[in-house]
C-alpha cells in the first residue's frame, strides 16, 4: 500500500468515475485502475463495484474511506511540516503546563491546533505555579495552562477554559458513606493525607481550618 493508491481511491470515492478520478490525479485511467486493483488485492477485498458506467463503493470501501482520509491528511501534514522545517518557516510556541492538569483535558485541543497550524511547533514545559508569571513576562513562555492560583497578575491576560470540582475521598466503608451531607468540621477530625506541594494547599487549609 502506498500514498498514491490511497490518493487514487479517495478521488474515485469522491467522483465515482474512473475517468474523472484519473484526471483529478493527473494520471491515465489504466494507471489508476491498476493501482485500485493492487490495493484491493492487498486488502483481500473489493473496494468498488463497477457495472458499465455505474460505480459504487462496497461496504469495505465505505468502511475504509475515513481511515484513508486520515492517512492522506497525515501525508499532507508531514510534507508541509518537512518543507517548513527545511526552509526555516516553522515557528516555535513555548507553552507552560502545570503537572496537575491531566493530558486528556488538552490533548484534543492541541491536536486540532497542530492540524490547523502545521507550521507551528508546540513545546510543552513543566512549570510551577509560582514561576508562571515571571516566565510569561520574560518571554520564556508564550502562554501557560494553569489552575487559577491567587489573584490575577495585572500584566497578564486570563481565559477560563474549563472547571474542575475539588473533592475529598473516603473509603466506601467509611461512616461518612451513610450520610447525605458531611460538614467540614467533621472532616477536620479525620486522619488525612496532606499533599505538601499541592498548589491549592494553602487555600484548602484556609477553608477547612479558618483562623
Residues with Cβ within 8 Å of 207's Cβ and at least 6 positions away in sequence, in order, are 184
Contact 120/93 with Cβ under 8 angstroms?
Answer: yes
> What is the predicted pLDDT for the residue at 34?
93
* Rounded Cα distance, 86 and 122, in Å: 17
> What is the predicted pLDDT for the residue at 89?
64
> What is the predicted pLDDT for the residue at 90?
63
Same domain, 115 and 136: yes
Same domain, 59 and 31: yes
Provide the domain limits for residue 127: 91-145
pLDDT at 36 over 90: yes
Same domain, 96 and 132: yes
Same domain, 51 and 112: no
CA quadruple 202, 162, 140, 134: dihedral sign: negative
Same domain, 64 and 11: yes
> What is the predicted pLDDT for the residue at 122?
84
Cα–Cα distances in angstroms (integers) from residue 138 to residues 94, 120, 128, 131, 135, in the given order: 12, 21, 15, 11, 5
Contact 8/27 with Cβ under 8 angstroms?
Answer: yes
> Which is higher by pLDDT, 158 or 199?
158
> What is the predicted pLDDT for the residue at 5?
92
Same domain, 83 and 96: no
Number of folded domains in the chain? 3
Beta strand 143-145 with 91-97: parallel, antiparallel or unpaired? Answer: parallel
Question: How many CB atoms neighbour CB 102 within 10 A?
Answer: 9
Taking only the tens place, the pLDDT of each residue in 54-110 is: 889 999 999 999 889 888 888 877 777 677 667 766 677 888 888 777 777 788 888
Q: What percent of the chain has pLDDT over 90?
A: 21
> What is the predicted pLDDT for the residue at 211?
61
Amino acid at each position: 500500500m502506498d500514498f498514491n493508491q490511497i490518493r487514487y481511491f479517495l478521488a474515485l470515492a469522491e467522483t465515482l468515475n474512473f475517468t474523472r478520478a484519473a484526471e483529478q490525479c493527473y494520471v491515465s485511467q489504466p494507471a489508476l485502475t491498476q493501482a485500485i486493483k493492487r490495493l484491493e488485492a492487498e486488502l483481500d477485498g473489493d473496494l468498488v463495484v463497477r457495472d458499465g458506467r455505474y460505480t459504487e463503493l462496497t461496504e469495505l470501501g465505505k468502511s475504509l474511506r475515513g481511515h484513508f482520509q486520515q492517512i492522506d491528511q497525515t501525508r499532507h501534514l508531514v510534507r508541509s511540516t518537512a518543507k517548513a522545517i527545511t526552509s526555516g518557516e516553522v515557528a516555535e510556541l513555548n507553552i507552560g503546563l502545570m503537572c496537575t492538569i491531566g493530558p486528556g483535558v488538552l490533548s484534543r485541543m492541541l491536536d486540532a491546533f497542530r492540524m490547523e497550524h502545521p507550521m507551528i511547533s508546540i513545546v510543552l514545559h513543566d512549570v510551577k505555579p509560582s514561576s508562571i508569571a515571571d516566565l510569561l513576562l520574560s518571554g520564556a513562555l508564550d502562554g501557560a495552562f494553569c489552575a487559577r492560583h491567587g489573584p490575577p497578575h495585572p500584566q497578564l491576560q486570563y481565559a477560563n477554559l474549563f472547571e474542575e470540582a475539588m473533592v475529598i475521598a473516603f473509603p466506601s466503608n467509611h461512616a461518612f458513606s451513610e450520610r447525605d451531607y458531611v460538614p467540614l468540621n467533621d472532616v477536620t477530625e479525620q486522619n488525612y493525607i496532606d499533599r505538601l506541594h499541592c498548589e491549592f494547599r494553602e487555600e484548602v487549609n484556609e477553608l477547612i481550618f479558618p483562623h
